[in-house]
């Protein structure tokens, strides 16, 4: 179940490989696009946070599992479905689905909040922490 509004998009021509299906690293772009859209919808535009060097949470690991092919022109949604925030560690689960709701890919990103000046672990700002704590509660079983 999505913890925020699903990010709706269409598989673009440049997203597919010679076999006519989504080229595997593109799914990570879909996950990140959903993350950026989620933050914007929550009133925390990532581009503003980065421009102001207010906070950063670089990805330290990611994974994706492909369940069904996605082809050029397919309407899809990508949503955050699970969130876990523990100190400076942020884990987000994603689901990309065909417009009919059939899951096509699932995955996880793991990020670490850091201080811009030192790039050492740091706690997320309070407003960011509150947003992720709220959606974490929604995503708990």
pLDDT (tens digit per residue) in 71-103: 999 999 999 999 999 999 999 999 999 987 899
Q: What is the CATH number for 59?
A: 3.10.129.10
CB atoms within 10 A of CB 88: 16
The residues that bridge with 76 in the sheet, in sequence order, are 9, 98
Is 5:41 a contact under the CB 8 Å cutoff? yes
Structure-derived torsion over alpha carbons of residues 28, 29, 30, 34, reported in degrees to the nearest 10 = 100
- Position 107 scores a pLDDT of 98
**Which domain does 19 fall in, by range?**
7-139
Is 44:125 a contact under the CB 8 Å cutoff? no
Per-residue pLDDT at 57 exceeds 70: yes
- Position 99 scores a pLDDT of 85
Per-residue pLDDT at 141 exceeds 60: no
- Position 91 scores a pLDDT of 97
Tell me the average pLDDT of the chain.
Answer: 94
- Position 63 scores a pLDDT of 97
Is 1 part of a structural domain of the chain? Answer: no
- Domains of the chain: total: 1
Is 36 part of a structural domain of the chain? Answer: yes
Instruction: Report the distance separating Cα 65 and Cα 106, nearest Å.
Output: 5
Instruction: Report the distance separating Cα 127 and Cα 118, nearest Å.
Output: 21
- Position 140 scores a pLDDT of 59
Query: How many Cα atoms are found within 13 Å in the side-chain-facing hemisphere of 105?
Result: 24
Is 2 part of a structural domain of the chain? Answer: no
Is 95 part of a structural domain of the chain? Answer: yes
The residues that bridge with 109 in the sheet, in sequence order, are 62, 92
Q: Give the DSSP H or E segment for 10.
A: strand 7-10
Is 23 part of a structural domain of the chain? Answer: yes
The pLDDT confidence band at residue 24, using thresholds 50, 70 and 90, is: very high
The residues that bridge with 116 in the sheet, in sequence order, are none
């Amino acid at each position: 179940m999505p913890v925020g509004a699903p990010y709706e998009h269409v598989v673009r021509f440049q997203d597919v490989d010679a076999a006519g299906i989504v080229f595997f690293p593109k799914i990570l772009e879909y996950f990140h696009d959903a993350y950026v859209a989620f933050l914007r919808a929550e009133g925390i535009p990532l581009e503003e946070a980065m421009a102001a060097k207010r906070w950063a949470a670089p990805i330290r690991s990611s994974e994706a599992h492909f369940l069904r092919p996605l082809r050029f022109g397919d309407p899809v949604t990508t949503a955050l479905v699970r969130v876990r925030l523990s100190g400076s560690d942020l884990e987000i689960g994603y689901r990309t689905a065909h417009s009919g709701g059939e899951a096509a890919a699932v995955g996880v990103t793991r990020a670490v909040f850091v201080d811009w000046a030192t790039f050492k672990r740091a706690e997320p700002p309070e407003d960011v922490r509150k947003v992720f704590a709220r959606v974490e509660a929604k995503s708990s079983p």
